[in-house]
């Protein structure tokens, strides 16, 4: 008999409803099975299993292997379920149950989440999603066009002039470069005020809608303040890098009815999750988790650009942006990173029309006039639609 | 002549002071050098370099390769400097400059940070550090003893009873298991109140100091509230997992004079940074960044336990907890994870005496009486000191 003999925790605290995580585990079958059994303990009680008395903890708190099968290339797939209640209705603790300690063990990759309806009901997810953003922009069908104001080092006025040209040239969304925060050359409030005004002015002139998206990633309390400043300045949306600021900050801002702005999620500092054998799949981190945390569009590196994602990895993200997840809305994939105008047709072939083309530096390289480059990009996408 | 012809940003906004990041870059010399040049752009302007006009952006905003040399095993070490000003005095943007987009490119590892004195002056770092925690506990020299209340699934009363026994048995620090957040079986406020009381009561009886450390990792606003509840309940410290809640939340709580509690940092969800070829070094993420963000002690998996860290990787963390970093205090390494009492002497050989022994489940396995197991552990460490 161990030191712990029983617990007085009542069974009634557990509904019996569980959610599942599919892990790809590398190694021989024997090693992989041992790792799967270990995950059941490590991600929950983190305590010697043999010291846990029979009863509610074993029956409900332990993870449970629901299936275990070959996963290709020296690996196995284990689907492990957890009681809803151990996530405590918190996105943060849900992340911890999914991968907290096991992230520190090599050769374990989170491949897919199957969150129960009752767990998903705790999350509001994207406020706008694909349809909501299309409605804001009055663009029912064609791909959307997004670009970024940069380079860092320009003044707020210069960035706002760029934003104006982009909106005048037909870009649907004009976002801050993700490195623009509150540098002295373009302080947050000044930049966001000038850029919001510039885009609103361009829209009045063209008669078309466009959204200026302010990057509010920043120190934890400042991020909240910046979101509010952006709203008051008339920005059309906000961008957050949850790898830097935390997924839950995004959720909180998405859930905030007094804010009510579309959210773009940026992948900065999340790369280590996907570039190694362990970590998380592209679909989980850039698709499922982004959506769970309330992003309306997810930015990620396009295949064939200056990053290393494959076409299949990008397709996996796209699937995750639209697969059934309770009442959570489908969100826009926003592939970017070293894109050029020449790649538009190829991308449509892979992504279909429900995507946001994110093009940055490439807009400066097509021809000598920025407005004309934007117009060319816009006409190219409009032509493809017809 | 490109589209951008000049910028009106004045040179006076840049002090000329820079901080450096050493990257280990995998590949041939030619590939590695190209990647280093790319990092200078990717981490700053993220814009085609040839389109940036001569002047302040090229001179100050671009990253700069300070050195480039062989790094062993098909890799090279590039030390790249950045203007202080592009980090905007923000921990979040500093993280972004260090590794934001480059985290998404395989084969690039952040090995070490050399933060300038002027940049470090923007951060208060640990409030207590090694010396402050020793003072709180009145333990000038010997290693400290820490354990965790668990398993998840116990009631608050049962967890508090464990906390009492641990404190009565001579543990210096008794922390929540990192999976305990606000589950119905032991809701945060109830648990923290009962555990704080239990540890205070044990201390009155033994005449010794001990700290109960509440895990406040949680949804972003709740984490702030929980820290305050812990303070009011008489907890002796707080624990945060920055991989889940964000590094800046920790910094904010460390800087909060109205809180003034020691902080333990937990490595949950940070594993993917260290387990692959890219990512960040153990010293950077568990040492330098933990310290910069205000942790007083850093929890990480001990070598030879159920995780995979090597002795050298653990030694690297220890070096980072005490290497010169401006006025930032040295912090305690707190190795744990599958420790047993038998490993105490071996660990002292590697870590020296300035460490926190973190032992969880092992305390339940030494003998049939938990109090005696704690006393044995305590006497073992006290004996070693003399």
Mind listing the pLDDT tens digit for each residue in A198-251? 999 999 999 999 999 999 999 988 999 999 999 999 999 999 999 999 999 999
B374: pLDDT strictly greater than 70: yes
Nearest to B179 among A96, A217, A365 (CB): A96
Interface test with B, best of A49, A56, A100 (most B CBs within 10 A): A100
CB B206 within 8 A of CB B168: yes
CB contact under 8 A, B269 and A244: no
- CA-to-CA separations, A266 to A3, B26, B55, B365, in angstroms, rounded: 48, 25, 29, 46
Chain A residue numbers touching B85 (CB-CB < 8 A): 183-185
- Both tokens assigned to B265: 């940092």
Which has the higher per-residue pLDDT, B367 or A230? A230
CB contact under 8 A, A61 and B153: yes
CB contact under 8 A, A93 and B181: yes
CB B41 within 8 A of CB B82: no
Length of chain A: 386
- Both tokens assigned to A178: 């993700």
CB contact under 8 A, B272 and A278: yes
B386: pLDDT strictly greater than 60: no
The phi and psi torsions of A240 (rounded to 5 degrees) equal: -135, 140
Q: What DSSP element (H or E) covers A374?
A: helix A370-385
Query: At A328, is the pLDDT very low, low, confident or very high (cuts 50, 70, 90)?
Result: very high
- Chain A and chain B share a number of CB contacts under 8 A equal to 326
Q: Phi/psi zone of residue B337: left (φ > 0), alpha (ψ -120 to 50 degrees), beta?
A: left
CA pair distance B116, B18, nearest whole angstrom:
6
CB proximity list for B6: less than 8 A, separation 6 or greater: B53, B55
Per-residue pLDDT, averaged over A267-288, amounts to 95
Q: What is the dihedral of CA A235, A236, A240, A246, to 10 degrees?
A: 100
CA pair distance A177, A175, nearest whole angstrom:
6
The per-residue pLDDT for B117 is 94
The per-residue pLDDT for B343 is 80
CB contact under 8 A, B46 and A151: yes
Among positive and negative, which fits the CA dihedral B370, B376, B378, B380? negative
Question: Among A341, A293, A291, which residue's Cα sits nearest to residue A130?
Answer: A291
Q: Does B365 touch chain A (CB under 8 A)?
A: yes
CB contact under 8 A, A47 and B268: no
Chain B residue numbers touching A220 (CB-CB < 8 A): 220, 246, 248-249, 252
The per-residue pLDDT for B360 is 87
The per-residue pLDDT for B337 is 73
Nearest chain B CA: its distance from A106 CA (Å): 6
CB B371 within 8 A of CB B162: no
Which has the higher per-residue pLDDT, A366 or A341? A366
CB B106 within 8 A of CB B278: yes
Residues 198-237 of A with CB under 8 A from B: 217-223
The per-residue pLDDT for B362 is 84
Q: Does A51 touch chain B (CB under 8 A)?
A: yes
Nearest to A104 among B2, B275, B360 (CB): B275
CB A137 within 8 A of CB A210: yes
Domains of chain B (ranges; CATH) run 11-120 (3.30.70.150), 129-385 (3.20.20.110)
- SS3 string of chain B? CCCCCCCCCCHHHCCCCEEEEEEEEECCHHHHHHHHHHHHHHCCCCCCHHHCCCCHHHHHHCCEEEEEEECCCCEEEEEEEEEHHHHCCCHHHHHHHHHCHHHHCCCEEEEEEECCHHHHCCCCCCCCHHHHHHHHHCCCCCCEEEEEECCECECHHHHHHHHHHHHHCCCCEEEECCCCCCCCCCCHHHHHHHHHHHHHHHHHHHCCCCEEEEECCCCHHHHHHHHHHHHHHCCCEEEECHHHHCHHHHHHHHHCCCCCCCEEECCCCCHHHHHCCCEECHHHHHHHHHHHCCCCEEEEECCCCCCCCCHHHHHHHHHHHHCCECECCCCEEEEECCCCHHHHHHHHHHHCCCCEEECCHHHHCCCCCHHHHHHHHHHHHHHHHC
Q: pTM to 2 decimals?
A: 0.97
Nearest chain A CA: its distance from B132 CA (Å): 26
Nearest to B278 among A158, A221, A275 (CB): A275
- Say if residue B122 is exposed, middle or buried (CB neighbours under 10 Å; 0-12, 13-18, 19+): middle
Q: What DSSP element (H or E) covers A373?
A: helix A370-385
Chain B residue numbers touching A45 (CB-CB < 8 A): 150-153, 179
A66: pLDDT strictly greater than 70: yes
CB proximity list for B42: less than 8 A, separation 6 or greater: A306, B101, B102, B105
Query: At B338, is the pLDDT very low, low, confident or very high (cuts 50, 70, 90)?
Result: low
Query: At B179, is the pLDDT very low, low, confident or very high (cuts 50, 70, 90)?
Result: very high
Percent of chain B predicted with pLDDT > 70: 99
CB proximity list for B188: less than 8 A, separation 6 or greater: B181, B182, B214, B218, B226, B229
Chain A residue nearest residue B337, CA to CA: A46
Nearest to A364 among B3, B183, B268 (CB): B3
Chain B residue numbers touching A90 (CB-CB < 8 A): 181-182, 218-219, 222
Q: Tell me whether strands A108-114 and A18-26 are parallel, antiparallel or unpaired.
A: antiparallel
Q: Tell me whether strands B108-114 and B173-176 are parallel, antiparallel or unpaired.
A: unpaired
Among positive and negative, which fits the CA dihedral B189, A248, B302, A21? positive
Q: Read off the pLDDT of residues B270-281 as tens digits, 9 standing for 90 and up.
A: 999 998 889 999
The per-residue pLDDT for B167 is 98
Chain A residue nearest residue B282, CA to CA: A104
Interface test with A, best of B49, B56, B92 (most A CBs within 10 A): B92
Nearest to B272 among A97, A103, A249 (CB): A103
Which has the higher per-residue pLDDT, B365 or B41? B41
Query: At A385, is the pLDDT very low, low, confident or very high (cuts 50, 70, 90)?
Result: low
Chain A residue numbers touching B84 (CB-CB < 8 A): none
CB proximity list for A142: less than 8 A, separation 6 or greater: A353, A381, A382, A384, A385
Residues 310-349 of B with CB under 8 A from A: none
Per-residue pLDDT, averaged over B137-146, amounts to 96
Nearest to B221 among A48, A252, A365 (CB): A252
Residues 237-276 of B with CB under 8 A from A: 241, 243-246, 248-249, 251-252, 267-276
Interface test with A, best of B48, B103, B153 (most A CBs within 10 A): B153
The per-residue pLDDT for B304 is 85
CB contact under 8 A, B45 and A150: yes
Nearest chain B CA: its distance from A250 CA (Å): 9
Chain A residue numbers touching B248 (CB-CB < 8 A): 219-220, 245
B226: pLDDT strictly greater than 80: yes
B1: pLDDT strictly greater than 60: no
A1: pLDDT strictly greater than 60: no
Chain A residue numbers touching B307 (CB-CB < 8 A): 104-105
Per-residue pLDDT, averaged over B170-187, amounts to 98
Interface test with A, best of B94, B271, B274, B338 (most A CBs within 10 A): B271
Among positive and negative, which fits the CA dihedral A23, A28, A30, A35? negative
Q: Tell me whether strands A211-215 and A237-240 are parallel, antiparallel or unpaired.
A: parallel
Chain A residue numbers touching B101 (CB-CB < 8 A): 178, 268, 271
CA pair distance A190, A169, nearest whole angstrom:
23
Nearest chain B CA: its distance from A103 CA (Å): 4
The per-residue pLDDT for B276 is 85
């Amino acid at each position: 008999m161990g030191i712990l003999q029983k617990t007085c925790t009542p069974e009634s605290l557990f509904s019996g409803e569980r959610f599942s995580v599919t892990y790809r585990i590398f190694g021989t079958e024997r090693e992989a099975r041992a790792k799967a059994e270990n995950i059941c303990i490590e991600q929950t009680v983190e305590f010697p299993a043999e010291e846990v008395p029979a009863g509610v903890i074993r029956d409900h708190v332990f993870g449970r292997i629901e299936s275990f099968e070959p996963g290709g290339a020296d690996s196995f797939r284990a689907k492990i379920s957890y009681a809803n209640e151990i996530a405590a209705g918190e996105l943060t603790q849900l992340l911890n149950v999914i991968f907290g300690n096991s992230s520190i063990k090599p050769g374990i990759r989170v491949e897919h989440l199957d969150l129960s309806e009752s767990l998903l009901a705790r999350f509001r997810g994207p406020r706008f999603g694909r349809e909501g953003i299309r409605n804001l922009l009055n663009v029912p069908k064609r791909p959307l066009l997004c670009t970024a104001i940069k380079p860092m080092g320009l003044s707020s006025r210069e960035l706002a002039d760029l934003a104006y040209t982009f909106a005048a040239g037909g870009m649907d969304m004009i976002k801050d470069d993700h490195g623009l925060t509150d540098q002295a050359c373009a302080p947050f409030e000044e930049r966001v005020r000038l850029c919001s005004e510039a885009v609103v002015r361009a829209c009045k002139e063209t008669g078309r809608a466009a959204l200026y998206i302010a990057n509010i990633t920043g120190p934890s309390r400042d991020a909240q303040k910046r979101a509010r400043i952006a709203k008051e300045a008339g920005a059309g949306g906000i961008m957050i890098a949850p790898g830097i600021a935390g997924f839950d900050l995004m959720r909180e801002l998405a859930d905030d009815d007094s804010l009510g702005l579309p959210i773009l999620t940026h992948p900065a500092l999340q790369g280590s999750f996907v570039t190694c054998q362990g970590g998380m799949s592209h679909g989980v981190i850039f698709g499922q988790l982004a959506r769970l945390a309330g992003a309306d569009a997810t930015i990620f590196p396009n295949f064939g650009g200056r990053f290393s994602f494959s076409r299949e990895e990008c397709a996996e993200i796209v699937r995750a942006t639209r697969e059934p997840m309770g009442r959570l809305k489908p969100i826009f994939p926003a592939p970017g990173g070293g894109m050029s105008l020449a790649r538009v047709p190829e991308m449509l072939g892979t992504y279909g029309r429900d995507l946001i083309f994110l093009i940055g530096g490439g807009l400066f390289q097509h021809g000598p006039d920025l407005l004309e480059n934007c117009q060319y990009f816009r006409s190219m996408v409009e032509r493809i639609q017809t």
